[in-house]
Amino acid sequence: MTRLSQIFALAALAAATPAQAAELPAEIKQAGTLKLTVNSTYAPMEYRDPATNELVGLDIDLANELAKRLGGLKIVWSETPFAELIPSLQTRRADFIISGISDRASRRETADFIDYLQTGPQFFVMADNAAKDAADLCGKKVGTTRSTSFPVEIEKWSKQNCEPAGKPAIQYVPGENSIDVRNQLKQGRIDAAVQGSETLPYAQTQEPGKYRVVGEPFAKGYQGIMFRKDDVALREVVTEKLTAMIADGAYKAVLDKWGLGANAVAQPMLNAAPQ
């Protein structure tokens, strides 16, 4: 299915008559709760507010609004390392995953994604770093979170831009999460880092003058709400509510609140990421 046909298919779902409208699975409706698991180290998508210790972020706000529209469901939140997000879905500890997780072809063997946010890997350095553009990072140590798609994207970018120009390849350095990667950068253990374009504006706001973005995002992708492949009814009803949120402005209000209006999508998309 092409991306265009995916968009048309989802638009048709949103335009369904009330008799055709998707419904919540009976077990979720009867329980009145939605079990959601997040990795709370990925601000501004989901994190613990240092002042209140409350779970906050763009994904948290979107999930809360979805829960209201799904009949006022109560969300039961749990937290886990990023690498455990997919297992938590597969073992049914989570009904779906909305936690800054990228739609990737390799993840679609057992799950489907409803893509709701544009993203892309982006290089950044300490503000006093001499690098003027991304090509200056060839041969340098570049860190990123090991469990994301970014290590592969860094390698691909290096092969396309460093080696053909006779420059040494980028040296990838793994990190546990975005906080660990930024700490490695501040400690001088790496020369540059890569994070999703949705996280860097927040990091720069929290530590003014400390980081400098180098170049534009060097790949395009989407973050998606992740569902088990056999949970078609749940996937469809969440898509229906998200489509309505985009139409009535609630989705835009959440993205604008977190400074990510430019990362919006026009419609939810099914498994639309290219990689």
pLDDT of the residue at 16: 39
User: pLDDT of 45-60, one tens digit each?
Assistant: 999 999 999 999 999 9
For the record, the structure tokens of 253 come out as 């209000």
Assess whether 115 and 240 both reside in one domain: yes
Last residue of a domain, one of 213, 240, 261: 213
Name the phi and psi angles at 42, rounded to 5.
Answer: -125, 65
> Residue 201: pLDDT band by 50, 70, 90 thresholds?
confident
Full domain range(s) for residue 171: 121-213
Q: What CATH number did the domain enclosing 255 receive?
A: 3.40.190.10
Percent of the chain past pLDDT 70, that is, above it, reads 92
pTM listed for this prediction: 0.81
Classify residue 187: in a domain, yes or no: yes
Cα 174 to the center of its chain, rounded Å: 19
What is the C-alpha to C-alpha distance for residues 124 and 213, in angstroms, rounded to an integer? 4
Task: DSSP letter for 208, please.
Answer: T
Contact between 147 and 223 under an 8 Å Cβ cutoff? The reply is no
Classify residue 275: in a domain, yes or no: no
User: pLDDT of 165-180, one tens digit each?
Assistant: 999 999 999 999 889 9
For the record, the structure tokens of 268 come out as 């939810």
